[in-house]
Every structure is written in C-alpha cells, then in structure tokens.
Amino acid sequence: MRPLEGRRLFFVGIGGAGLSAYAQLARAWGAEVAGWEPNDTPYLAALAGVAVQRSPAPSPPAGFELVVSSAYPSIEGSSRAAFLAELVSLRRSIVVAGTHGKGTTAAMIAFCLREAGADPAWLIGAPVPQLGGNAGAGEGWLVVEGDESDRTVFRLPARIAVITNVELDHHSEFASLAELEQAFAAWAGRAPCAVRDAPRFEGPLALPGEHNRANAGAALAALELAGLERERAAAALGRFTGTGRRFEVSQAGGVTIVDDYAHHPSELAATIAAAREAYPGRRLRGLFQPHLVSRTRHLAPELGAALAGLDEVVVTEIYAAREATLPDVSGKRVVEALSDLGVEAVWIPALREAAAYLAERARSGEVVLVLGAGDVDRAPALIAARLSERRG
C-alpha cells in the first residue's frame, strides 16, 4: 500500500493542520517528503525526520513537486485541494463535510473504525489524542474532514459522503446560502452513499452538548454504511473523548478553562450551551477572537447574540487570516452587539493583554471559555500561567 512510491513532494505550509496531515500520509504511502513552514506549530512534531525549511521564503529542492497551502496563494504549485482529491481517489473514502462539527464527526468515525479493528487511515484538521494525531495510515477506509471554505470538499470523490449541517459561513466564497446548499447537494449526489439529517445519538457520550449528539448521530449512520454493527459502533462512540480545541478542558488556580475552536454564531451558542450543561450554576467568562473580516462584517449581531450566553465577554481584534483588513471592521462590532443586549463586554485588541485581563478577573470555581479559530489557541496557556502566578 505505497501508491506514492517514487514521488518527491515539497509542502509549502507543511506546519498547518491540513498540510501536515497530508504530508504524513504521503510519506506513509511511499513519497519522499520535504517542506517549508515559517511558523512554530504543534503539527511539526509529527514530521520528525522530514526536512523542513524555516527560512523567510520557501526554496524547493530540484525535482520536487510543490503542494501549496491555501494560505500562500501567490506561490505556484499544486493546490492542497488538488492533492487531497488525489489522496482520496487512491482509497475508498468516507468524507465528512458541513459547516459545523465535521472534524469531530470525522474523528468519531475514525476512532470507532479503529476500535473495531478496521485499521482506518484518516486526515483530520485537528489533533485527535485517542488516535495519536491528525493523520493515520491504516489500510482500511480513509476518513477525511472536508472543507467548503475554498470549495475543496466538492472535489473529493467520496464513497460515503457525510453532511453534518449547512449554514453560510464563508461570505467571501459563496454569494448565498442557496448556492452553498446546491454545491453540497451536487457533491453528495455523486457519492454512492450519503448521510444527511441523521437522527441524534441517544446513547451515553463522554462529550457534552446537543451538537455532539448530532455529530455522533451522523457518525453512527456513516459507520453502519461502512459495515460496522450498530451496537459495536454505539459502544465505541461512548468512549470517544474529543479532538484538540473542541471543548478541551484544563484547570489552573481553581478555575476551569475550556478551549474551543467555535467561531461561527451557531458553534459559539452550542459550545456555551454545552458549558452550561457541564458546569451548571457556575459563572462563565469568555475570551473571543473574531475570525475573518468578512465573517465579522456580516455576522457581528449574530456573534453578539451567541456570546450573550456568557456572563462576561472579552473580545480581541479580528484574526484576519487570509483576508485583508478593513478600516471600519474590527472586534468592536461584536462588543457593540453585546452591549446592545446588556451583556458585560470589553474590547482588548491584543490577545496577551486580553488573556491577562480575564485571568485577573476570574475567581476560583468559575469557568473561562477561550473561543475562536485563530491564534487564540495561545490564550489557555497565558491564562493558566497568570492564574498560577496569582495563586502562588
């Protein structure tokens, strides 16, 4: 099972959540792998032995094919979408797509298949502790988290297509919800088997929240289509404990810190509801980093309404990612939406200062939620350090 034997691949942005997984699988499938990554990322640890350039700009060795992250559109080479489509074409695949929950659902499927001895491969855009990482190279089904933000998922030839849910989230890519719905429907229609609107899972789960019951319901339906007995799949689902930055819980100074990737209003509301379920009666404080200028511009009132489920909210400046900044769009828009709803909210643009402010206000027994999809993932460690210093 080395279908990429003889290929020499250079990944531009190899330290990202997606390309690091593709590089791991490519190496396992026989390719010689190298890459470039300008930033320190946790995903580089899984690439031990791979030559990774840390220079200001990539300098690919002669004879290597380039696979380029969508974060570097000015660099010529094969897109990550095209390469992922090639990987999916090489193995019977379960592709999980949708606006929310696709990473967790894909991880649930891969975990249950492995628990059942089905030896899956997987490509997931987040670390999965119970699987040992964001990529695996088993010889069974290939389980893939698909991404609609740049239409990548619609190029993937799934044997089983799973759609968790559909909401308009990427306003710079899709003109309307109707356009997005049509794209998903066309993609699912090309697959031999498809899962959509699966009933919620009613068995015991280690993960809180109704959104995780929905994720588990979609996973169970896909697992049955893949040939796993329902009872065995349900038992394994109950043992799944989650992925990185999806309701990831830690403790510091008597304060519970919940780190979550939620960045769309529906995801924020679901995560906050899960926190209320898991920690009834406790005060919830939140640190939110808006993600993408376009999303903040279009959804600031909805973001505020979702965050209003917290008792106090600190909002940072927008993590613009691949988008250009706009002078009239900032994190202040979310604070204004919260203020209109009577929620205590403050805008502190710099992440480090926002984390310090929240840590000073948090009290023993309270819960701090860190929310967003950018570099806000640094905040839990910053908050924990300040809380520990205060206690000492």
* CATH code of the domain containing 261: 3.90.190.20
Rounded Cα gap, residues 326 and 330, in angstroms: 8
The candidate with the shortest Cα–Cα distance to 375, out of 31, 135, 96, 39, is: 39
Number of domains in the chain: 3
Residue 360 located in a structural domain: yes
Rounded Cα gap, residues 36 and 195, in angstroms: 37
Per-residue pLDDT of the chain (392 residues; tens, 9 = 90+): 799 999 999 999 999 999 999 999 999 999 999 999 998 888 999 999 999 999 999 999 999 999 999 889 899 999 999 999 999 999 999 999 999 999 999 999 999 999 999 999 999 999 999 999 999 999 999 999 999 988 999 999 999 999 999 999 989 899 999 999 999 999 999 999 999 999 999 999 999 999 999 999 999 999 999 999 999 999 999 999 999 999 999 999 999 999 999 999 999 999 999 999 999 999 999 999 999 999 999 999 999 999 999 999 999 999 998 899 999 999 999 999 999 999 999 999 999 999 999 999 999 999 999 999 999 999 999 999 999 987 65
Say if residue 95 is in the same domain as residue 203: yes
How confident is the model over 228-269, as pLDDT tens digits?
Answer: 999 999 999 999 999 999 999 999 999 999 999 999 999 999
Sheet holding 312-315, edge to edge: 248-252, 255-260, 367-371, 284-288, 312-315, 345-347
Bridge partners of 145? 96
**Inter-residue contact 163 to 188 (CB < 8 Å):** yes
Residue finishing a domain among 207, 237, 267: 237
Say if residue 218 is in the same domain as residue 130: yes
**Inter-residue contact 19 to 78 (CB < 8 Å):** no
Q: Is the pTM of this model over 0.85?
A: yes
pLDDT for 391? 67
Residue 1 located in a structural domain: no
**Inter-residue contact 91 to 158 (CB < 8 Å):** no
Say if residue 65 is in the same domain as residue 24: yes
Judged by DSSP in three states, 178 sits in: helix
**Inter-residue contact 66 to 31 (CB < 8 Å):** no
Residue finishing a domain among 80, 102, 119: 80
Say if residue 103 is in the same domain as residue 178: yes
Say if residue 175 is in the same domain as residue 274: no
The whole domain housing 382 covers 248-391
Say if residue 220 is in the same domain as residue 312: no
Residue 187 located in a structural domain: yes
**What sections of the chain are H helices per DSSP?**
17-28, 80-89, 102-115, 177-190, 210-225, 230-237, 265-278, 293-307, 332-340, 351-361, 379-391
Say if residue 131 is in the same domain as residue 168: yes
* CATH code of the domain containing 167: 3.40.1190.10
How confident is the model over 309-329, as pLDDT tens digits?
Answer: 999 999 999 999 889 999 999
* CATH code of the domain containing 31: 3.40.50.720
Say if residue 116 is in the same domain as residue 183: yes
Angle between helices 102-115 and 230-237 (to 10 degrees): 120
Residue 194 located in a structural domain: yes
Cα R_g (the chain), whole angstroms: 21
